[in-house]
Chain A
Protein backbone atom coordinates (compact mmCIF):
# COMPACT_ATOMS: atom_id res chain seq x y z
CA UNK A 1 0.00 0.00 0.00
CA UNK A 2 1.30 3.44 -0.93
CA UNK A 3 2.04 5.87 1.87
CA UNK A 4 -0.38 8.56 0.67
CA UNK A 5 -3.39 6.24 0.86
CA UNK A 6 -2.85 5.60 4.58
CA UNK A 7 -5.31 6.83 7.18
CA UNK A 8 -4.20 8.72 10.29
CA UNK A 9 -4.44 5.60 12.45
CA UNK A 10 -2.61 3.41 9.92
CA UNK A 11 0.15 5.95 9.28
CA UNK A 12 0.37 6.64 13.01
CA UNK A 13 1.08 2.99 13.77
CA UNK A 14 3.79 2.87 11.14
CA UNK A 15 5.33 6.10 12.41
CA UNK A 16 5.34 4.96 16.01
CA UNK A 17 6.84 1.58 15.04
CA UNK A 18 9.43 3.58 13.08
CA UNK A 19 8.58 1.65 9.90
CA UNK A 20 8.25 4.98 8.12
CA UNK A 21 9.39 8.48 8.98
CA UNK A 22 7.30 11.63 8.97
CA UNK A 23 9.72 13.12 6.42
CA UNK A 24 9.07 10.18 4.04
CA UNK A 25 5.33 10.49 4.53
CA UNK A 26 5.39 14.25 4.05
CA UNK A 27 7.57 13.94 0.91
CA UNK A 28 5.09 11.40 -0.49
CA UNK A 29 2.20 13.78 0.12
CA UNK A 30 3.99 16.64 -1.67
CA UNK A 31 4.82 14.33 -4.59
CA UNK A 32 1.17 13.42 -4.85
CA UNK A 33 0.18 17.10 -4.79
CA UNK A 34 2.73 17.87 -7.53
CA UNK A 35 1.27 15.05 -9.65
CA UNK A 36 -2.42 15.83 -9.19
CA UNK A 37 -3.13 19.37 -8.04
CA UNK A 38 -2.96 20.90 -11.52
CA UNK A 39 -6.18 18.93 -12.08
CA UNK A 40 -7.86 19.09 -8.67
CA UNK A 41 -6.81 22.61 -7.54
CA UNK A 42 -7.38 21.80 -3.88
CA UNK A 43 -4.62 24.00 -2.44
CA UNK A 44 -4.28 27.79 -2.36
CA UNK A 45 -0.96 27.78 -0.50
CA UNK A 46 1.61 25.02 -0.05
CA UNK A 47 4.02 25.09 2.87
CA UNK A 48 6.60 22.54 1.78
CA UNK A 49 9.62 24.00 3.61
CA UNK A 50 7.91 24.48 6.97
CA UNK A 51 6.14 21.13 6.58
CA UNK A 52 9.42 19.27 6.09
CA UNK A 53 10.90 21.13 9.05
CA UNK A 54 7.92 20.08 11.20
CA UNK A 55 8.28 16.50 9.89
CA UNK A 56 11.94 16.41 10.95
CA UNK A 57 11.04 17.63 14.42
CA UNK A 58 8.25 15.05 14.57
CA UNK A 59 10.72 12.28 13.70
CA UNK A 60 12.90 13.38 16.61
CA UNK A 61 9.91 13.42 18.95
CA UNK A 62 8.82 9.99 17.67
CA UNK A 63 12.16 8.52 18.69
CA UNK A 64 12.11 10.06 22.17
CA UNK A 65 8.50 10.33 23.41
CA UNK A 66 7.00 7.48 25.37
CA UNK A 67 3.37 8.37 24.62
CA UNK A 68 3.36 10.18 21.28
CA UNK A 69 0.17 11.91 20.11
CA UNK A 70 -1.77 10.08 17.35
CA UNK A 71 -1.18 13.14 15.16
CA UNK A 72 2.59 13.31 15.67
CA UNK A 73 4.21 13.54 12.22
CA UNK A 74 0.88 13.49 10.38
CA UNK A 75 0.54 15.63 7.20
CA UNK A 76 -2.68 17.61 7.56
CA UNK A 77 -4.28 20.14 5.22
CA UNK A 78 -6.07 23.19 6.60
CA UNK A 79 -8.91 25.17 5.06
CA UNK A 80 -7.75 28.70 4.31
CA UNK A 81 -10.06 30.37 6.82
CA UNK A 82 -7.98 29.24 9.82
CA UNK A 83 -5.36 31.75 10.95
CA UNK A 84 -1.92 30.20 10.63
CA UNK A 85 0.92 32.27 12.03
CA UNK A 86 3.40 33.23 9.36
CA UNK A 87 1.47 31.39 6.61
CA UNK A 88 -0.60 33.45 4.16
CA UNK A 89 -4.34 33.28 4.93
CA UNK A 90 -6.77 34.45 2.25
CA UNK A 91 -10.23 33.03 3.02
CA UNK A 92 -10.29 32.73 -0.80
CA UNK A 93 -10.96 36.46 -0.95
CA UNK A 94 -9.11 39.29 -2.63
CA UNK A 95 -9.98 41.60 0.24
CA UNK A 96 -7.43 39.96 2.54
CA UNK A 97 -4.62 40.39 0.02
CA UNK A 98 -1.55 38.59 1.31
CA UNK A 99 -2.69 38.68 4.91
CA UNK A 100 -0.10 37.19 7.24
CA UNK A 101 -1.75 36.15 10.51
CA UNK A 102 0.04 37.42 13.62
CA UNK A 103 -1.22 34.42 15.62
CA UNK A 104 -2.50 30.84 15.27
CA UNK A 105 -6.12 29.76 15.64
CA UNK A 106 -6.46 27.70 18.84
CA UNK A 107 -7.12 24.59 16.75
CA UNK A 108 -3.94 25.21 14.73
CA UNK A 109 -1.95 25.68 17.95
CA UNK A 110 -3.38 22.34 19.14
CA UNK A 111 -2.32 20.62 15.92
CA UNK A 112 1.17 22.08 16.24
CA UNK A 113 1.44 20.95 19.89
CA UNK A 114 0.34 17.46 18.84
CA UNK A 115 3.17 17.48 16.28
CA UNK A 116 1.03 17.49 13.14
CA UNK A 117 2.65 18.62 9.90
CA UNK A 118 0.74 21.45 8.19
CA UNK A 119 0.87 20.76 4.46
CA UNK A 120 -0.83 23.94 3.28
CA UNK A 121 -4.04 25.89 3.01
CA UNK A 122 -6.96 24.58 0.99
CA UNK A 123 -9.42 26.35 -1.28
CA UNK A 124 -12.95 27.30 -0.24
CA UNK A 125 -15.87 29.41 -1.30
CA UNK A 126 -14.93 33.01 -0.44
CA UNK A 127 -15.54 33.56 3.29
CA UNK A 128 -16.96 30.00 3.40
CA UNK A 129 -20.07 31.21 1.55
CA UNK A 130 -21.10 28.59 -0.94
CA UNK A 131 -21.78 24.93 -1.60
CA UNK A 132 -19.46 24.24 -4.54
CA UNK A 133 -16.03 25.87 -3.96
CA UNK A 134 -16.75 27.87 -7.13
CA UNK A 135 -16.99 31.15 -5.21
CA UNK A 136 -13.24 31.21 -4.55
CA UNK A 137 -11.65 34.46 -5.78
CA UNK A 138 -8.74 32.37 -7.10
CA UNK A 139 -10.02 29.28 -8.93
CA UNK A 140 -12.64 26.56 -8.51
CA UNK A 141 -11.60 23.23 -6.99
CA UNK A 142 -12.59 20.11 -8.94
CA UNK A 143 -14.00 16.83 -7.67
CA UNK A 144 -11.37 14.04 -7.75
CA UNK A 145 -14.09 11.55 -8.78
CA UNK A 146 -14.92 13.57 -11.88
CA UNK A 147 -13.06 16.76 -12.73
CA UNK A 148 -16.16 18.24 -14.40
CA UNK A 149 -18.04 18.11 -11.09
CA UNK A 150 -17.90 20.41 -8.06
CA UNK A 151 -16.27 19.05 -4.88
CA UNK A 152 -18.97 20.62 -2.68
CA UNK A 153 -18.41 23.54 -0.41
CA UNK A 154 -17.43 25.52 1.27
CA UNK A 155 -14.61 23.20 2.51
CA UNK A 156 -14.26 21.88 -1.06
CA UNK A 157 -10.46 22.07 -1.09
CA UNK A 158 -10.07 20.10 2.14
CA UNK A 159 -12.53 17.39 1.03
CA UNK A 160 -10.95 17.10 -2.42
CA UNK A 161 -7.44 16.95 -0.91
CA UNK A 162 -8.47 14.07 1.39
CA UNK A 163 -10.23 12.19 -1.44
CA UNK A 164 -7.22 12.65 -3.74
CA UNK A 165 -4.73 11.49 -1.07
CA UNK A 166 -3.07 14.92 -1.14
CA UNK A 167 -2.93 14.84 2.67
CA UNK A 168 -3.65 12.24 5.35
CA UNK A 169 -6.51 14.27 6.84
CA UNK A 170 -7.81 17.84 6.78
CA UNK A 171 -9.59 20.49 8.80
CA UNK A 172 -12.69 22.30 7.65
CA UNK A 173 -15.35 24.58 9.06
CA UNK A 174 -19.10 24.08 8.88
CA UNK A 175 -21.70 26.87 9.20
CA UNK A 176 -24.52 25.29 7.18
CA UNK A 177 -23.01 22.03 5.90
CA UNK A 178 -19.59 23.19 4.73
CA UNK A 179 -17.81 20.09 6.10
CA UNK A 180 -20.51 17.46 5.56
CA UNK A 181 -21.72 18.36 2.07
CA UNK A 182 -18.22 18.41 0.47
CA UNK A 183 -17.36 15.22 2.37
CA UNK A 184 -20.45 13.62 0.81
CA UNK A 185 -19.58 14.95 -2.66
CA UNK A 186 -16.00 13.62 -2.42
CA UNK A 187 -16.73 10.27 -0.76
CA UNK A 188 -14.94 10.96 2.54
CA UNK A 189 -15.90 11.41 6.20
CA UNK A 190 -16.70 14.88 7.54
CA UNK A 191 -17.79 15.81 11.03
CA UNK A 192 -19.32 18.97 12.45
CA UNK A 193 -19.11 18.77 16.25
CA UNK A 194 -21.63 20.29 18.67
CA UNK A 195 -21.56 24.10 18.71
CA UNK A 196 -19.06 24.98 21.45
CA UNK A 197 -17.20 21.65 21.42
CA UNK A 198 -14.26 23.09 19.45
CA UNK A 199 -12.80 26.58 19.79
CA UNK A 200 -13.61 29.10 17.09
CA UNK A 201 -10.77 31.42 18.12
CA UNK A 202 -8.75 32.35 15.04
CA UNK A 203 -11.33 31.07 12.55
CA UNK A 204 -12.33 33.85 10.16
CA UNK A 205 -15.89 34.51 11.29
CA UNK A 206 -18.83 33.98 8.95
CA UNK A 207 -21.92 33.35 11.15
CA UNK A 208 -20.71 33.20 14.72
CA UNK A 209 -23.76 31.45 16.18
CA UNK A 210 -23.23 28.49 13.84
CA UNK A 211 -19.56 28.32 12.72
CA UNK A 212 -17.80 25.19 13.96
CA UNK A 213 -14.47 23.51 13.20
CA UNK A 214 -14.27 19.82 12.37
CA UNK A 215 -12.26 17.06 10.69
CA UNK A 216 -12.45 15.73 7.14
CA UNK A 217 -10.90 12.25 7.04
CA UNK A 218 -10.61 8.97 5.16
CA UNK A 219 -12.50 6.99 7.79
CA UNK A 220 -14.50 7.32 10.99
CA UNK A 221 -11.67 6.30 13.33
CA UNK A 222 -9.62 9.19 11.96
CA UNK A 223 -12.51 11.58 12.60
CA UNK A 224 -12.50 10.44 16.25
CA UNK A 225 -8.73 10.95 16.53
CA UNK A 226 -8.83 14.45 15.04
CA UNK A 227 -11.84 15.50 17.09
CA UNK A 228 -9.96 14.37 20.21
CA UNK A 229 -7.10 16.71 19.35
CA UNK A 230 -9.40 19.64 18.58
CA UNK A 231 -12.08 19.45 21.29
CA UNK A 232 -12.06 21.23 24.60
CA UNK A 233 -12.57 24.51 26.34
CA UNK A 234 -10.69 27.57 25.19
CA UNK A 235 -10.60 30.70 27.37
CA UNK A 236 -10.20 32.73 24.16
CA UNK A 237 -13.64 31.62 22.88
CA UNK A 238 -16.43 32.53 25.29
CA UNK A 239 -18.84 30.17 23.50
CA UNK A 240 -16.57 27.14 23.85
CA UNK A 241 -17.86 24.58 26.31
CA UNK A 242 -16.01 23.46 29.41
CA UNK A 243 -17.81 20.13 29.45
CA UNK A 244 -15.76 16.99 29.88
CA UNK A 245 -14.27 15.68 26.61
CA UNK A 246 -14.81 11.90 26.34
CA UNK A 247 -12.31 9.52 24.72
CA UNK A 248 -13.91 9.30 21.29
CA UNK A 249 -12.07 6.24 19.99
CA UNK A 250 -13.36 4.19 22.93
CA UNK A 251 -16.92 4.61 21.64
CA UNK A 252 -16.15 3.20 18.21
CA UNK A 253 -16.49 -0.54 18.67
CA UNK A 254 -19.76 -0.71 20.62
CA UNK A 255 -21.93 -1.44 17.55
CA UNK A 256 -25.51 -0.34 17.00
CA UNK A 257 -27.39 -3.14 18.76
CA UNK A 258 -30.36 -1.59 20.55
CA UNK A 259 -29.58 1.91 19.28
CA UNK A 260 -32.75 3.85 18.52
CA UNK A 261 -32.49 5.52 15.11
CA UNK A 262 -34.95 8.18 13.96
CA UNK A 263 -35.62 8.70 10.25
CA UNK A 264 -37.34 12.06 9.64
CA UNK A 265 -40.08 11.75 7.03
CA UNK A 266 -39.57 15.40 5.96
CA UNK A 267 -36.09 14.56 4.67
CA UNK A 268 -37.34 12.21 1.96
CA UNK A 269 -39.13 14.54 -0.39
CA UNK A 270 -39.52 15.03 -4.11
CA UNK A 271 -36.56 16.66 -5.76
CA UNK A 272 -33.98 14.34 -4.27
CA UNK A 273 -32.01 12.14 -6.64
CA UNK A 274 -33.61 8.64 -6.55
CA UNK A 275 -30.18 6.97 -6.25
CA UNK A 276 -29.47 9.07 -3.14
CA UNK A 277 -32.75 7.99 -1.55
CA UNK A 278 -32.09 4.32 -2.44
CA UNK A 279 -28.59 4.38 -0.98
CA UNK A 280 -29.72 6.04 2.24
CA UNK A 281 -32.66 3.63 2.61
CA UNK A 282 -30.25 0.72 2.08
CA UNK A 283 -27.94 2.15 4.75
CA UNK A 284 -30.85 2.34 7.19
CA UNK A 285 -31.70 -1.32 6.45
CA UNK A 286 -28.07 -2.23 7.10
CA UNK A 287 -28.16 -0.49 10.48
CA UNK A 288 -31.41 -2.31 11.27
CA UNK A 289 -29.84 -5.63 10.28
CA UNK A 290 -27.02 -4.90 12.71
CA UNK A 291 -29.49 -4.52 15.57
CA UNK A 292 -30.59 -0.87 15.55
CA UNK A 293 -34.25 -0.03 16.08
CA UNK A 294 -35.60 2.17 13.29
CA UNK A 295 -38.44 4.59 13.88
CA UNK A 296 -39.99 7.17 11.58
CA UNK A 297 -39.94 10.59 13.23
CA UNK A 298 -41.11 14.05 12.29
CA UNK A 299 -39.18 17.31 12.24
CA UNK A 300 -42.18 19.43 11.23
CA UNK A 301 -40.38 22.75 10.69
CA UNK A 302 -37.81 21.36 8.26
CA UNK A 303 -39.28 23.22 5.28
CA UNK A 304 -38.49 26.57 6.93
CA UNK A 305 -34.83 25.86 7.66
CA UNK A 306 -33.35 27.26 4.43
CA UNK A 307 -35.27 30.53 4.85
CA UNK A 308 -34.26 30.85 8.53
CA UNK A 309 -30.64 30.00 7.80
CA UNK A 310 -30.21 32.49 4.97
CA UNK A 311 -31.64 35.25 7.16
CA UNK A 312 -29.67 34.47 10.32
CA UNK A 313 -26.39 33.57 8.60
CA UNK A 314 -26.38 36.58 6.29
CA UNK A 315 -27.33 38.93 9.15
CA UNK A 316 -24.38 37.66 11.19
CA UNK A 317 -22.11 37.74 8.13
CA UNK A 318 -22.99 41.35 7.32
CA UNK A 319 -21.89 42.33 10.84
CA UNK A 320 -18.79 40.12 10.86
CA UNK A 321 -17.63 41.36 7.47
CA UNK A 322 -17.95 45.02 8.49
CA UNK A 323 -14.36 44.71 9.74
CA UNK A 324 -13.04 44.57 6.17
CA UNK A 325 -12.72 48.31 5.81
CA UNK A 326 -9.22 48.57 4.35
CA UNK A 327 -7.83 50.38 7.40
CA UNK A 328 -5.68 47.97 9.43
CA UNK A 329 -5.20 45.08 7.02
CA UNK A 330 -6.30 43.84 3.63
CA UNK A 331 -7.08 45.66 0.42
CA UNK A 332 -7.38 49.47 0.46
CA UNK A 333 -8.49 51.37 -2.63
CA UNK A 334 -7.41 54.88 -3.53
CA UNK A 335 -10.35 57.24 -3.02
CA UNK A 336 -11.25 60.85 -2.24
CA UNK A 337 -12.52 60.43 1.30
CA UNK A 338 -13.04 57.86 4.04
CA UNK A 339 -16.55 56.69 3.05
CA UNK A 340 -15.49 56.27 -0.54
CA UNK A 341 -12.40 54.37 0.59
CA UNK A 342 -14.64 51.91 2.43
CA UNK A 343 -17.06 51.57 -0.46
CA UNK A 344 -14.50 51.08 -3.20
CA UNK A 345 -12.21 48.83 -1.14
CA UNK A 346 -15.15 46.55 -0.36
CA UNK A 347 -16.42 46.65 -3.94
CA UNK A 348 -13.03 45.64 -5.30
CA UNK A 349 -12.27 43.15 -2.54
CA UNK A 350 -15.46 41.09 -2.22
CA UNK A 351 -16.79 38.68 -4.84
CA UNK A 352 -20.42 38.51 -6.03
CA UNK A 353 -21.74 35.90 -3.55
CA UNK A 354 -20.19 37.69 -0.56
CA UNK A 355 -21.70 40.99 -1.73
CA UNK A 356 -25.07 39.30 -2.20
CA UNK A 357 -24.99 37.95 1.35
CA UNK A 358 -23.80 41.23 2.87
CA UNK A 359 -26.69 42.95 1.08
CA UNK A 360 -29.22 40.34 2.20
CA UNK A 361 -27.92 40.46 5.79
CA UNK A 362 -27.91 44.25 5.90
CA UNK A 363 -31.44 44.32 4.47
CA UNK A 364 -32.91 41.90 7.04
CA UNK A 365 -31.28 43.87 9.87
CA UNK A 366 -32.27 47.29 8.54
CA UNK A 367 -34.92 49.58 10.01
CA UNK A 368 -38.39 48.48 8.98
CA UNK A 369 -37.39 44.91 8.10
CA UNK A 370 -35.66 43.72 11.27
CA UNK A 371 -38.87 42.43 12.92
CA UNK A 372 -40.33 40.89 9.78
CA UNK A 373 -37.20 39.00 8.79
CA UNK A 374 -34.52 38.74 11.48
CA UNK A 375 -36.71 38.41 14.57
CA UNK A 376 -39.18 36.19 12.73
CA UNK A 377 -36.32 33.90 11.70
CA UNK A 378 -34.96 33.78 15.26
CA UNK A 379 -38.39 32.65 16.49
CA UNK A 380 -38.65 29.96 13.84
CA UNK A 381 -35.10 28.91 14.75
CA UNK A 382 -36.44 28.15 18.24
CA UNK A 383 -39.12 25.93 16.65
CA UNK A 384 -36.50 24.08 14.59
CA UNK A 385 -34.40 23.41 17.67
CA UNK A 386 -37.51 22.22 19.57
CA UNK A 387 -38.27 19.76 16.74
CA UNK A 388 -34.93 18.09 17.47
CA UNK A 389 -35.41 18.24 21.26
CA UNK A 390 -38.73 16.40 20.82
CA UNK A 391 -37.31 13.87 18.35
CA UNK A 392 -34.38 13.03 20.62
CA UNK A 393 -36.79 11.98 23.38
CA UNK A 394 -37.59 9.00 21.14
CA UNK A 395 -34.28 8.24 19.46
CA UNK A 396 -30.53 8.30 20.08
CA UNK A 397 -29.45 9.42 16.62
CA UNK A 398 -31.15 10.66 13.46
CA UNK A 399 -30.12 9.36 10.04
CA UNK A 400 -30.71 11.33 6.80
CA UNK A 401 -29.10 11.97 3.43
CA UNK A 402 -26.31 14.58 3.60
CA UNK A 403 -27.32 16.28 0.35
CA UNK A 404 -30.28 15.87 -2.03
CA UNK A 405 -28.03 15.03 -5.00
CA UNK A 406 -24.50 13.87 -5.68
CA UNK A 407 -21.94 16.47 -6.83
CA UNK A 408 -23.38 18.59 -9.65
CA UNK A 409 -21.52 19.94 -12.68
CA UNK A 410 -19.18 22.91 -12.41
CA UNK A 411 -21.22 25.99 -13.43
CA UNK A 412 -24.59 24.26 -13.10
CA UNK A 413 -25.99 26.38 -10.26
CA UNK A 414 -23.87 29.55 -10.33
CA UNK A 415 -26.61 31.55 -12.10
CA UNK A 416 -29.30 30.75 -9.53
CA UNK A 417 -28.28 31.55 -5.93
CA UNK A 418 -31.49 30.14 -4.44
CA UNK A 419 -30.96 26.76 -6.14
CA UNK A 420 -27.43 26.74 -4.73
CA UNK A 421 -28.78 27.50 -1.23
CA UNK A 422 -31.16 24.54 -1.51
CA UNK A 423 -28.22 22.11 -1.78
CA UNK A 424 -27.81 22.69 1.97
CA UNK A 425 -31.36 21.64 2.75
CA UNK A 426 -30.39 18.59 4.87
CA UNK A 427 -27.43 20.08 6.69
CA UNK A 428 -28.40 23.59 7.81
CA UNK A 429 -31.03 22.65 10.42
CA UNK A 430 -28.26 20.94 12.35
CA UNK A 431 -26.25 24.18 12.55
CA UNK A 432 -29.37 26.15 13.49
CA UNK A 433 -29.89 23.71 16.39
CA UNK A 434 -26.16 23.47 17.27
CA UNK A 435 -26.08 19.65 17.05
CA UNK A 436 -23.20 17.33 16.10
CA UNK A 437 -23.45 15.51 12.76
CA UNK A 438 -21.22 13.42 10.55
CA UNK A 439 -21.34 12.49 6.87
CA UNK A 440 -19.86 9.25 5.59
CA UNK A 441 -19.98 7.44 2.24
CA UNK A 442 -22.96 5.13 1.68
CA UNK A 443 -22.75 4.28 -2.01
CA UNK A 444 -22.39 5.64 -5.53
CA UNK A 445 -24.79 6.82 -8.20
CA UNK A 446 -24.88 5.62 -11.82
CA UNK A 447 -22.13 8.10 -12.75
CA UNK A 448 -19.87 6.66 -10.03
CA UNK A 449 -20.27 9.77 -7.84
CA UNK A 450 -20.24 9.22 -4.05
CA UNK A 451 -23.37 9.51 -1.89
CA UNK A 452 -23.27 10.72 1.73
CA UNK A 453 -25.16 9.47 4.78
CA UNK A 454 -25.69 11.98 7.58
CA UNK A 455 -25.82 10.88 11.22
CA UNK A 456 -27.05 13.51 13.68
CA UNK A 457 -26.62 13.27 17.46
CA UNK A 458 -27.77 14.98 20.63
CA UNK A 459 -25.78 17.96 21.89
CA UNK A 460 -22.31 16.76 22.96
CA UNK A 461 -23.14 13.16 22.08
CA UNK A 462 -20.40 12.81 19.47
CA UNK A 463 -19.53 9.33 20.86
CA UNK A 464 -22.88 7.86 19.73
CA UNK A 465 -22.61 9.51 16.31
CA UNK A 466 -19.10 8.10 15.83
CA UNK A 467 -20.14 4.69 17.12
CA UNK A 468 -23.04 4.36 14.64
CA UNK A 469 -20.90 5.70 11.81
CA UNK A 470 -18.09 3.27 12.57
CA UNK A 471 -20.46 0.29 12.74
CA UNK A 472 -21.94 1.18 9.35
CA UNK A 473 -18.55 1.86 7.80
CA UNK A 474 -17.11 -1.46 8.95
CA UNK A 475 -20.18 -3.32 7.69
CA UNK A 476 -20.01 -1.80 4.21
CA UNK A 477 -16.46 -0.69 3.37
CA UNK A 478 -17.54 2.14 0.99
CA UNK A 479 -14.71 4.21 2.46
CA UNK A 480 -12.08 1.98 0.86
CA UNK A 481 -13.09 3.10 -2.68
CA UNK A 482 -10.71 5.63 -4.22
CA UNK A 483 -11.05 7.93 -7.22
CA UNK A 484 -8.66 7.42 -10.15
CA UNK A 485 -6.90 10.65 -11.00
Chain B
Protein backbone atom coordinates (compact mmCIF):
# COMPACT_ATOMS: atom_id res chain seq x y z
CA UNK B 1 0.00 0.00 0.00
CA UNK B 2 1.46 3.29 -1.12
CA UNK B 3 1.45 6.18 1.34
CA UNK B 4 -0.38 9.14 -0.19
CA UNK B 5 0.35 12.81 0.11
CA UNK B 6 -3.16 13.26 1.56
CA UNK B 7 -2.34 10.86 4.45
CA UNK B 8 0.84 12.81 5.15
CA UNK B 9 -1.18 16.05 5.27
CA UNK B 10 -3.72 14.44 7.59
CA UNK B 11 -0.99 13.15 9.94
CA UNK B 12 0.79 16.53 9.90
CA UNK B 13 -2.44 18.17 11.03
CA UNK B 14 -2.86 15.60 13.81
CA UNK B 15 0.74 16.22 14.90
CA UNK B 16 0.28 20.02 14.68
CA UNK B 17 3.19 20.38 12.29
CA UNK B 18 3.17 22.87 9.44
CA UNK B 19 4.97 21.36 6.46
CA UNK B 20 6.13 23.12 3.34
CA UNK B 21 5.25 21.55 -0.03
CA UNK B 22 8.83 20.31 -0.34
CA UNK B 23 8.79 18.77 3.13
CA UNK B 24 5.48 17.13 2.31
CA UNK B 25 6.74 15.41 -0.80
CA UNK B 26 10.04 14.41 0.83
CA UNK B 27 8.23 12.96 3.86
CA UNK B 28 5.74 11.09 1.67
CA UNK B 29 8.61 9.25 -0.03
CA UNK B 30 10.67 8.73 3.16
CA UNK B 31 7.79 7.52 5.31
CA UNK B 32 6.60 5.24 2.52
CA UNK B 33 10.09 3.71 2.39
CA UNK B 34 10.29 3.29 6.18
CA UNK B 35 6.73 1.90 6.49
CA UNK B 36 7.54 -0.48 3.66
CA UNK B 37 10.35 -1.86 5.80
CA UNK B 38 7.95 -2.32 8.75
CA UNK B 39 5.81 -4.67 6.64
CA UNK B 40 8.22 -7.49 7.52
CA UNK B 41 6.41 -7.74 10.89
CA UNK B 42 3.45 -9.25 9.03
CA UNK B 43 5.52 -12.38 8.40
CA UNK B 44 4.97 -13.25 12.06
CA UNK B 45 1.75 -14.74 13.35
CA UNK B 46 1.16 -12.92 16.63
CA UNK B 47 -2.47 -13.90 17.20
CA UNK B 48 -1.61 -15.61 20.49
CA UNK B 49 1.14 -13.28 21.66
CA UNK B 50 0.49 -10.99 24.60
CA UNK B 51 0.89 -7.26 24.21
CA UNK B 52 4.11 -6.00 25.77
CA UNK B 53 3.63 -3.96 28.92
CA UNK B 54 6.77 -3.75 31.07
CA UNK B 55 10.30 -4.98 30.51
CA UNK B 56 10.93 -5.36 34.24
CA UNK B 57 8.43 -6.66 36.81
CA UNK B 58 7.48 -3.75 38.96
CA UNK B 59 4.65 -3.42 41.43
CA UNK B 60 2.44 -0.39 41.17
CA UNK B 61 4.27 2.57 42.57
CA UNK B 62 1.99 4.18 45.11
CA UNK B 63 2.65 6.96 47.52
CA UNK B 64 0.78 9.07 50.00
CA UNK B 65 -1.33 11.78 48.39
CA UNK B 66 0.48 14.76 49.77
CA UNK B 67 2.30 17.71 48.26
CA UNK B 68 6.05 17.27 48.40
CA UNK B 69 7.33 19.85 45.94
CA UNK B 70 7.86 23.46 46.83
CA UNK B 71 6.32 26.25 44.85
CA UNK B 72 8.74 27.64 42.30
CA UNK B 73 6.34 29.66 40.19
CA UNK B 74 8.88 32.35 39.42
CA UNK B 75 11.43 29.89 38.03
CA UNK B 76 8.72 28.23 35.92
CA UNK B 77 7.40 31.53 34.60
CA UNK B 78 10.93 32.67 33.76
CA UNK B 79 10.85 30.37 30.71
CA UNK B 80 7.47 31.64 29.46
CA UNK B 81 7.43 33.03 25.91
CA UNK B 82 4.96 35.63 27.20
CA UNK B 83 3.72 36.30 30.72
CA UNK B 84 1.45 38.64 32.61
CA UNK B 85 2.31 38.88 36.29
CA UNK B 86 1.93 35.29 37.54
CA UNK B 87 0.14 34.01 34.42
CA UNK B 88 1.27 32.51 31.14
CA UNK B 89 -0.08 34.65 28.30
CA UNK B 90 -1.41 32.51 25.45
CA UNK B 91 -3.25 33.22 22.17
CA UNK B 92 -6.99 33.75 22.50
CA UNK B 93 -8.87 30.44 22.29
CA UNK B 94 -12.52 31.60 22.56
CA UNK B 95 -13.98 34.02 20.04
Q: Which residues of B contact A304 (CB under 8 A)?
A: 40-41, 44
Q: Which residues of A contact B55 (CB under 8 A)?
A: 195, 209, 385, 432-435, 459
Q: Decide: A337 near B15, CB < 8 A? Known: A363-B35, A379-B46.
A: no
- Docked-complex contact B56 and A382, CB < 8 angstroms: no
Nearest-Cβ distance from residue B51 to partner chain A, whole angstroms: 5
Nearest-Cβ distance from residue B90 to partner chain A, whole angstroms: 5
The yes or no answer to B2 lying at the interface (CB within 8 A) is no
The yes or no answer to A366 lying at the interface (CB within 8 A) is yes
From 180 to 198 in chain A, residues with beta carbon under 8 angstroms from any chain B beta carbon are 194-196
From 35 to 91 in chain B, residues with beta carbon under 8 angstroms from any chain A beta carbon are 35, 37-38, 40-42, 44, 46, 49-52, 54-56, 58, 61, 63, 68, 72, 75-76, 78-82, 88, 90-91
Nearest-Cβ distance from residue B50 to partner chain A, whole angstroms: 5
The 4 lowest CB-CB distance pairs between A and B, nearest first, are: A434-B55, A102-B75, A332-B81, A329-B79
**B31 in complex: contacting residue of A363, A379, A382, CB < 8 Å:** A363
- Docked-complex contact B44 and A383, CB < 8 angstroms: yes
From 337 to 382 in chain A, residues with beta carbon under 8 angstroms from any chain B beta carbon are 337-344, 346-347, 350, 352, 355-356, 358-360, 362-363, 366, 373, 375-382
Given the complex of chains A and B, what is the CA–CA distance between A176 and B31 in angstroms? 20
Q: Decide: A102 near B78, CB < 8 A? Known: A346-B17, A380-B46.
A: yes
Q: How many of chain A's residues touch chain B, expressed as a range?
A: 35 or more
A239, A363, A376, most chain B CB atoms within 10 A? A363
- 14 inter-chain pairs at a CB distance below 8 angstroms, sorted by A residue, are A102-B78, A301-B44, A310-B34, A327-B88, A332-B82, A339-B16, A359-B17, A375-B51, A376-B46, A377-B41, A379-B50, A380-B41, A382-B49, A417-B34
- Docked-complex contact A343 and B34, CB < 8 angstroms: no
Chain A residues with CB under 8 Å of chain B are 99-100, 102-103, 194-196, 209, 235, 238-239, 241, 301, 303-304, 306-308, 310-311, 318, 322, 325-332, 335, 337-344, 346-347, 350, 352, 355-356, 358-360, 362-363, 366, 373, 375-383, 385, 417-418, 421, 432-435, 459-460
- Docked-complex contact A382 and B58, CB < 8 angstroms: no
- Docked-complex contact A325 and B44, CB < 8 angstroms: no
Q: Which residues of B contact A239 (CB under 8 A)?
A: 58, 61
Chain B residues with CB under 8 Å of chain A are 7-8, 10-12, 14-19, 23, 27, 30-31, 33-35, 37-38, 40-42, 44, 46, 49-52, 54-56, 58, 61, 63, 68, 72, 75-76, 78-82, 88, 90-93
- Docked-complex contact A373 and B38, CB < 8 angstroms: yes
Given the complex of chains A and B, what is the CA–CA distance between A354 and B78 in angstroms? 26
